[in-house]
Chain A
Amino acid sequence: MADLKRTGLYQLHLDLGAKMVPFAGYEMPVQYPMGVLKEHLHTRAAAGLFDVSHMGQILLSPRSGRLEDAALALERLVPVDVAGLGEGRQRYALFTDEAGGILDDLMVANRGDHLFVVVNAACKEADFAHLKAGLPDCDLGMVSDRALLALQGPRAEAALARLVPDVVDLRFMDVAIRQWDSAELWISRSGYTGEDGFEISVPDRFAEAFARRLLAMEEVAPVGLGARDSLRLEAGMCLYGHDIDTTTSPVEADLVWAIQKARRAGGARAGGFPGAPRILRELAEGAARRRVGLRPEGRAPMREGTEIYAAPEGGAAIGRVTSGGYGPSIEAPMAMAYLPADLAEGATVWGDVRGRRLPATIAPMPFQPTSYKR
């Protein structure tokens, strides 16, 4: 696999028997010998360890020394209340474009005198350039000497607490810096599975030892990108480039919860982000289409690209599946699709699976209940 980058845990993946695939310019583990299904179920039952070091970790420091200056500058790029984010807290955000589409989704954390941002691997160079252009009064650093691990599942806290005892004090979406050995860990209580868990930024030279310590614990198993995808889909979370992109607005994507009151009409800092006219209008009036969950009847999955129809025969497609597959925990197929907003939950639509229209019900998400520690 020429020209592909490797994370600091590449050798560990090989030692664990991973099947490696190209993903966002990296050679990444799609599964380990346990297999996607069991890795998924293990994460929901105990704890899964994921290498997500391909993601972009970016530091934003205001030259003025006042965090508010960085927060307000970042607010010019995202429809999110960053200035109101408390120290030691993290929240979900979106980079929007002038047309109101989504350039990327990200996590932003307030770390006292600077912001810490985690972005998608495939977008990280573009995001960095976007930030650099948009935040001229901040010093920006792309972190290049740290791995990023996710430890997810109901036993994640007990496992991590053996190495870093006071992580039990963190609540969902808290961030903190903790020591392990002589390494500084950047820990957030968050993830991409719908489970309680942590994302842990570890200096490269400690990453493999840290991962091996976790993997030596009875409840921790390595989990690849395959199960990461089925876990996040059961949790109703978007995958950038599939469920959201520059052709979808935050309102269409049903991400209005990510736009806090301060940035909406009548809010303290209403608008002032790219695409605000469209996004504020859609917040007030609704969008014509909306991302919804689908539960196909029967067992056949409706994969990405499946065309959706309003009737079992005839008519033009009314939308298409953006992510779809089998949910190991719900033991049924599941999908996300963009459909006309007037279709209510519980309505039946039909997906074209290999030339046959099969029924599916518009269903609430998440498909699998989340279990965050709030």
Chain B
Amino acid sequence: MKYTEDHEWLQAEGDLVTVGITDHASEQLGDVVFVELPETGRTVSAGDEICVIESVKAASDIRAPLDGEIVEVNQEIADNPGLVNEDPTGRAWFFKMRLADPAKLDGLMDAAAYKDLIG
């Protein structure tokens, strides 16, 4: 598992990665009530705001962690946003993307580095 400074996790299989938000991010957001997902087939650049999460408190963006193409989104969290609080690193994945350059994964944090980040 790899992590970004925006509190996303990435699980890679070759050039395909599954992306979600971390337990820490889920706790900080509070109860999630709305999720807007990107369209499949969309080409994105690292840093693009591609999802919106609304909690009872506020709206937050999820950014594309790396360059690539969105190949699948998790409709289950759009239908049941509370799943993002219940199982953020499992069933509540957000999208799968095909990376333009899988080697870029090496530049992201590992679990130990992410743990240091969130203290």
Residues of B within 8 A of A226 (CB): 30, 56-57
Judge if B114 is at the interface, Cβ distance under 8 Å: no
**Does B54 lie within 8 Å of A326, measured CB to CB?**
yes
Judge if A325 is at the interface, Cβ distance under 8 Å: yes
Judge if B81 is at the interface, Cβ distance under 8 Å: yes
Judge if B36 is at the interface, Cβ distance under 8 Å: yes
Residues of B within 8 A of A38 (CB): 31
Complex Cα gap A351–B2 (Å)? 38
How many A residues face the partner with a CB closer than 8 A? Answer: 17
**Does A35 lie within 8 Å of B30, measured CB to CB?**
yes
Taking CB atoms and an 8 Å cut-off, the chain A residues in 272-306 that contact chain B are: 299-301, 303
Judge if A354 is at the interface, Cβ distance under 8 Å: yes
Taking CB atoms and an 8 Å cut-off, the chain B residues in 26-55 that contact chain A are: 30-31, 33-34, 36, 52, 54
Judge if B59 is at the interface, Cβ distance under 8 Å: yes
Residues of A within 8 A of B81 (CB): 299
Expressed in whole angstroms, the minimum distance between the Cβ of A50 and any Cβ of chain B is: 16
Q: B34's closest neighbor in chain A, by CB?
A: A299
**Does A301 lie within 8 Å of B31, measured CB to CB?**
no
Judge if A37 is at the interface, Cβ distance under 8 Å: yes
Complex Cα gap A16–B53 (Å)? 28
Q: Which of A37, A299, A300, A354 contacts B56 (CB 8 A)?
A: A37
**Does B30 lie within 8 Å of A326, measured CB to CB?**
no
Expressed in whole angstroms, the minimum distance between the Cβ of A367 and any Cβ of chain B is: 15
The residue in B30, B34, B54, B56 that gathers the most chain A C-beta atoms within 10 A of its C-beta is B56
**Does B56 lie within 8 Å of A328, measured CB to CB?**
yes
Judge if A362 is at the interface, Cβ distance under 8 Å: no
Q: B58's closest neighbor in chain A, by CB?
A: A303
Complex Cα gap A256–B49 (Å)? 44
Q: A303's closest neighbor in chain B, by CB?
A: B59
B41-81 Cβ-contact flags toward A at 8 Å (1 or 0): 00000000000101011110000000000000000000001
Complex Cα gap A299–B59 (Å)? 13
Q: A226-B56, A230-B56, A299-B81 given as contacts; is B31 within 8 A of A36 (CB)? A: yes
Q: A298's closest neighbor in chain B, by CB?
A: B34
**Does A35 lie within 8 Å of B34, measured CB to CB?**
no
Residues of B within 8 A of A301 (CB): 33-34, 54, 59
Judge if A31 is at the interface, Cβ distance under 8 Å: yes
Complex Cα gap A328–B33 (Å)? 9
Residues of B within 8 A of A37 (CB): 30-31, 33, 56
Expressed in whole angstroms, the minimum distance between the Cβ of B49 and any Cβ of chain A is: 9
**Does A300 lie within 8 Å of B57, measured CB to CB?**
no
Q: List 17 A-B contacts (CB under 8 A).
A: A35-B30, A36-B30, A36-B57, A37-B31, A37-B33, A38-B31, A226-B30, A300-B34, A300-B36, A300-B52, A303-B58, A326-B33, A326-B54, A328-B31, A333-B33, A354-B52, A354-B59
State the 6 A-B residue pairs at the shortest beta-carbon distance, nearest first.
Answer: A37-B31, A326-B33, A36-B56, A299-B34, A301-B54, A300-B34
Binding site for A on B (CB under 8 A): 30-31, 33-34, 36, 52, 54, 56-59, 81
